[in-house]
Amino acid sequence: MRAMCEDISNPISISEVASRCRLSLYYFVRAFTNTVGIAPYAWFVQQRIVCAKHLLANTALPLAQVALECGFSDQAHFTKAFAKASGLTPAKWRRCQICAT
């Protein structure tokens, strides 16, 4: 997991992590899913969302920059993943955080 989080803005592929662990991709995905409870890619996305929430709450970075800092390929992909995970778009989530303080 450490290798997966070393530089979240430049994410490592799941096959690279499996290779570093000296496991086949298939075995790594099964072992990871059985241990953590979710697939590696879903876990990656979760970690990126955590990073994004931190940046949205604590900085005034534009959404496109937050997306890149957290390893998303672009703002559209970030917005879709964020909304799926949290039920709100990043902009709405940020506004809610500002109103709550």
* Residue range 57-100, pLDDT digits in tens: 999 999 999 999 999 999 999 999 999 999 999 999 999 987 77
**Distance, first Cα to last Cα, the chain:** 33
The fold for domain 2-100 equals Arc Repressor Mutant, subunit A (1.10.10)
**Model confidence at 101: pLDDT above 80:** no
Which ranges constitute the DSSP H helices of the chain?
A: 2-5, 14-20, 25-36, 40-58, 63-69, 75-86, 90-100
Specify the pLDDT at position 13: 86
